[in-house]
Structure 1
Amino acid sequence: MIFTFMAIGLIAHKTPIQYVISMKRSCSNMSGIVFQYPFVT
């Protein structure tokens, strides 16, 4: 489920770096965990 939302977010942004920037703005203290979680499970 999380991977699906991450993929939709990547599609919605023009470049992956813009997606990373928007994730850091929205959840600045948890962005690293949010990015790693779908790949760990």
Structure 2
Amino acid sequence: MAIITDLIIDEYGAFVSKHQGRLRVTIKGEKQAEAPLLHLRRVIVS
């Protein structure tokens, strides 16, 4: 599994939450992405 350093959120209705030291992106209740805060350099919401 690759380390995610840049998290890009560009889907309408995406929900971003913090869960156990990770950012989690869900859409309609389904997990789309999850990245550890330790490795993230930036989060882009467009």
- Taking structure 2 as the reference length, what is the TM-score of the superposition? 0.29
- Taking structure 1 as the reference length, what is the TM-score of the superposition? 0.30
Q: Counting helix residues as a fraction of each chain, which structure ranks higher? A: 1
Q: Counting strand residues as a fraction of each chain, which structure ranks higher? A: 2
* Structure with bigger RCO (C-alpha 8 Å, 6+ apart): 2
